Structures are given as structure tokens and as C-alpha cells.
Amino acid sequence: MNDKKIKTALISVYYKDHLEEIVRRLNALQVSILSTGGTKEFIERLGIPVTAVETLTGYPSILGGRVKTLHPKVFGGILSRTGHDSDKKEMKEYAIESIDLVVVDLYPFEQTVASGASPDEIIEKIDIGGISLIRAAAKNYEDVVIIPSKDQYQVLLDVLNTREGTTTLDQRRNLALEAFGVTSYYDTAIFNYFNQNRDKQVFRQSINEAKPLRYGENPHQKGTFYGDFSQIFDQLHGKEISYNNLLDIEAAVYLIDDFKETTFAILKHNNACGIATRPGLLAAWTDALAGDPVSAYGGILITNTVIDESTAVEADKLFFEVIIAPAFADASLEVLTKKKNRIILVRKSVNLPRVQFRSMLNGVIEQDRDVKIESRSDMKPVTHVVPTDAEYEDLVFANKVVKHSKSNTIVLAKNKQLIASGVGQTSRVDALKQAIIKARNFGFDTQGAVMASDAFFPFPDCVEIAHEAGITAVIQPGGSVRDQDSVDFCDKNSMSMVFTGIRHFKH
């Protein structure tokens, strides 16, 4: 018989929310209750009989509350196996009573770290007794019900209300699964706190939230998002977010965060196909769209300022998947929500992770996120001709865009507007040729434009082609053994070139 009726419960929780209903129901079912500290006082205030763990063990809570439940009469009662005669004999010999329900809610370690608390306060929020109780009860799930956090309170209430406190083996095993999920997540958070500087080269990540996606990158692939999307965005409207939407949303957010002035960007397959910085949002939108109105179809829209009605009216003329902004004027939402599937996201003010990782073969690779932004002061002129003030502004703009484009990539910009880019090419020359053709196809004059490259030029061919197109200023990392060939060509043809010393590969 695998069904077990709860007879004795040990309750020790940090958060008392919604605990009252559980305690009252246990009492109604004549379940004996053991408890400690604040939880015991809470139960007593309800007028419900409760036995102090200290009474059970004969020892008081010691060391400032660090040791309360760590005792054989507690853990023996949890770990004893009803099907083992030797366990029964020892339980009788040492006067240990069985405990068949353990309800725990751990100290809020992560929240304490996030609050900016002192190291001493953080250390005191490392739960010892609670996590030990969870592991013991989960290990002995054949005989014990474990409720490892407040997230499982409703499961317990359902058992108490619909089955009068009787659980099946499957129910107890499922709760044990939840329990080890809680303990592994908790331990990972503690480890990562101690390993903030990555002194120990091991990979430890744990995320509780999971959202199944319609599919992965393609319909024949399964996909799941692990994380709490709502921490970063409020979704105001639209269909469920897809795997590919998430990839584009991340790329859009990281791109727009490099711009402080009013900027609008349109992305497709993780690359900007249009972006412009302007004094007003409508002008920024108009010039971003002009960069590549063909690729913009079905894209991701993002800006760093409030979407107003006039911009919404113009953007509404384009089919797009997602639009992201820090806020939307009410009138703009009336326009944008007319398309039922259109995803509308409001960004929250949160710090994004500065470390990235991805699966790789039979392991994981990790790196610091590329957060380097080169300003004018970081640019070293290497030619006789120095960029003008306007060209410097365009070089800063273009270099931000190239940083967020797939390698090999070349970006052409003019008047703080993306006029074309060549992305994801195996040849930098091909990337440049692609960009020039695109710029001309969409009616841009490349005369006086600037060129940004994510990596150095191994040969002068790119600057030669750029000169033929009328490009007058170039930004690149430098670092090739043949840098001087490109510099010499620029000098002979009155072009300016600056080195940054920073490569921005993106794969």
C-alpha cells in the first residue's frame, strides 16, 4: 500500500503568507504539529496546539538560532523507513516519533544579496536547518511528504482538502523532485555569490522558471525559454513570443542600450537593417525605415524613448512582429493594438547580465558581454587627414552599429543614419560590396559617408573600394601586420582613418 496519511507535521518557514489555512486544516485533521521560533509563535497566535521542537529534542535553540532542528529526534523521525524492522527497533529504543510531513520555506538568500545587504547579513541568510530538513524528507519520500517552499502550499492544501491528508507515492515523489529542485537552485545561488569573481572555473547556473515555446528556431525543433521574461518586460499586447523573437529582442535591446540620444532601430535576424539618431522620434523612425524598407518587413522595432501617436501611426503602416519601448502614449497604443498578433513590450529598468554563455559541443562556453563603447577620445587618427566633427559623430554611430552586427561586417553611415551594411560575410570585401550596392539601391549617396569595420583590414582592398564609392572616413580596430598599406592609401587619397584598438567580432 503506497498511500500514506499524514499524522505528524514539522513546520519551519521564513514566510508565513498563506500558512494559516494549512495549519487550520492540519489541526482539523488531528495532525500533530511541531514547530520552531517564529513559526511556532505564529501557530500559537492562531490558537492551534503546537509542540516546540525544543520540547521534542530536550535542547534549546542555540547559537543565535543557527541550531534548532539539527537533532537525531528530528532527523530520525524524518528519515526512518516504515518498512525496515531495524529502523523500527531503533526508533523504539531511542524514543523517536515518526514525522511524515515537513513544511519548509528557506531563508531568502538571493533576495538578501540583491538588496545590497552586508556580507554578515548575507551569510546569516544561508539556511542550514531548513535545507537539511528538505533533503532528508525528499530522500525518504516513500514515507514523508515534503513541501519545500511556499510555491507548493497549494499542492498541500489540495491534498488536505480533497484527500483528507492522504498522499500517493507518485504525489510524494513529485514533491521530492520539487524539493531537490529547490535545494539545487539554493545551493547554486550561494555558490555563485562566493564565486562572483569566477575564481573557481566551473559552470553553475540554475533557473526555476521555464516557458515552453511553440517551437525552436524551426518548426521541427522543440524550444523552451528558461527565465522570467516579466522581470525585463511587460507584454501589453500580442501573441506568444517565439524562439526567434527572443533572439531578435535580445539583439535589439543590447543595440539600443548603446545610444543615449533619441534613436530608433529596426532589426531582422539579429542585425540592424535600419537605425537613425534624430532630435525627434518620428524623424528617427522615418530615417531608420529608409535604411532598408524591404528588410524591415516582419522585423523587430525598438526605441529608447516614449512611442508617441504620430510615430505609431507611421509605424503601423509596416508589418512587424515586435515593438519595444520604455513607454507608450495611450494614443499610440490605440493605434498599435489594432493588429491582434503584434507584440508590444514595455522595457523595465533592470540591469542585464554582463556574462554570456551558450552550449558548445559537449560543454558550455562563457564570456563577458561586449559592453565596450568607443567614444571620440578612444579613436586614434592614423592618417594625415583628421575626421571632421561631423565625421567623428558618424564614426561613433557606425562603430556602435558594427559592434552589434554579425561578422564579417561593414557598416556605412551618414548623418547618424545607417545607410547600409554588409553582414555575416566570409569576406570583408564582400561585406563592403554588399553594403555599397544596398545603399545605392535605396537611393543613398555614399559620397561623404563613413565606414566602420568590426575587425582590421588585412589588405588595402576595402579602403580602395570605399574610396571609389566616395567614403571619406574609416574606423577600424587596427592590428594587422599590413595596417600601413591601408593607411598609405588613405593618405594618398585624402581619406581619414582612425584606429580604436578594439575588435568587435560577433558570431
**Catalytic machinery residues:** 139, 269
The answer to whether 402 touches 452, Cβ cutoff 8 Å, is yes
Question: How far is the C-alpha of 394 from the C-alpha of 389, rounded, in Å?
Answer: 9
The burial class, CB within 10 Å (0-12 / 13-18 / 19+), for 354 is: exposed
Cβ within 8 Å of residue 272, ≥6 positions away: 255, 265, 266, 291, 401, 404, 405, 418, 421
| β-bridge partners, 380 | 499
Reference 441, options 292, 306, 335; nearest CA is 292
Q: What is the CA radius of gyration of the chain?
A: 31
Q: Report the distance separating Cα 30 and Cα 54, nearest Å.
A: 21
H or E element at residue 347:
strand 343-347
**Cell numbers of 53, please?**
521542537
- Other CB atoms within 10 Å distance of the CB of residue 465: 17
Strands 320-325 and 343-347, how do they pair? parallel
Instruction: Tell me how far apart the alpha carbons of residues 458 and 125 are, in angstroms, rounded to a whole number.
Output: 55
CA dist., res. 236 & res. 39, Å (int): 40
Distance (Å, rounded) from C-alpha 114 to C-alpha 105?
18
Beta-bridge mates of residue 64 = none
Output the CA–CA distances (angstroms, integers) from residue 352 to 127, 190, 231, 241, 395, in the order listed.
28, 20, 10, 19, 26
Q: How do beta strands 263-268 and 299-303 pair? A: antiparallel
User: What backbone phi and psi angles, to 5 degrees, belong to 427?
Assistant: -125, 130
* In the block, residue with C-alpha cell 525496515: 84
CA distances from 264 to 86, 194, 318, 391 (A): 73, 40, 15, 20
Helix axes 19-28, 153-162, angle to 10 degrees: 30
The CA-based angle 455-458-459, given to 5 degrees, is 130
User: Cα–Cα distance between 184 and 190 in angstroms, integer?
Assistant: 10
**Other Cβ atoms within 10 Å of 399 Cβ, number:** 28
Q: Phi/psi of residue 428, each to 5°?
A: -65, -35
